[in-house]
Amino acid sequence: MIIELNIGLNINGRRNSLADCSERAVQAIAYLNQRFNKASTRREISEYEGPYGELRLEDSLIARVDASNGNRDYVMGAIYQLALDLEQECIAVKFYDDTGILVGPSAGKWGAFDINYFKDYEPGYAAARRAAA
């Protein structure tokens, strides 16, 4: 089972310099490689407008992993633990059929998974696949 993850590297109330986020990315990549087969990752920094018109940056690790080595409970448990380790409220998980779930200690606070906010590992690939279906 191939899944994709959106992992936030910024933490509310903590230092979020490029170096801090890079350390979290290295930690997440090591964890994914330990728990799953064939973890592929890329980083993305997005800009968006804050509530007062200020520019905000969001640093994310986008991952694709082969989770075939574990059952669903193992996979979700490992992702939940990664969210805890990174002090994230949740991590977005997308399955091949474009369904998904938010996994983490405060996932319910964020509502349901929304494909429109998910950053694909290969931008444009999933959208093209959905359009062709």
What pLDDT digit, counting tens, does each position of 66-91 carry? 998 778 999 999 999 999 999 999 99
* Range(s) of the domain holding residue 91: 2-132
Q: Does 126 have pLDDT greater than 80?
A: no
CATH of the domain at 59: 3.30.70
- 3-class DSSP assignment, residue 94: strand
pTM: 0.89
Write down the pLDDT at residue 69.
78
Write down the pLDDT at residue 32.
97
Determine the Cα–Cα distance for residues 107 and 70; give it in Å rounded to an integer.
Answer: 22
Q: How many domains does the chain have?
A: 1
Determine the Cα–Cα distance for residues 103 and 6; give it in Å rounded to an integer.
Answer: 11
Write down the pLDDT at residue 38.
79
Asked if residue 25 lies in contact with residue 3, where contact means CB atoms within 8 angstroms, the answer is no
Give whichever of 5-9, 120-124, 126-130 has the largest mean pLDDT.
5-9
Distances from the Cα of 90 to the Cαs of 7, 69, 80, in angstroms? 8, 22, 8
Determine the Cα–Cα distance for residues 114 and 71; give it in Å rounded to an integer.
Answer: 24
Band (pLDDT 50/70/90 cuts) for residue 128 is low
Q: DSSP H helical segments within 36-110, as ranges?
A: 72-85
What pLDDT digit, counting tens, does each position of 14-26 carry? 999 999 999 999 9
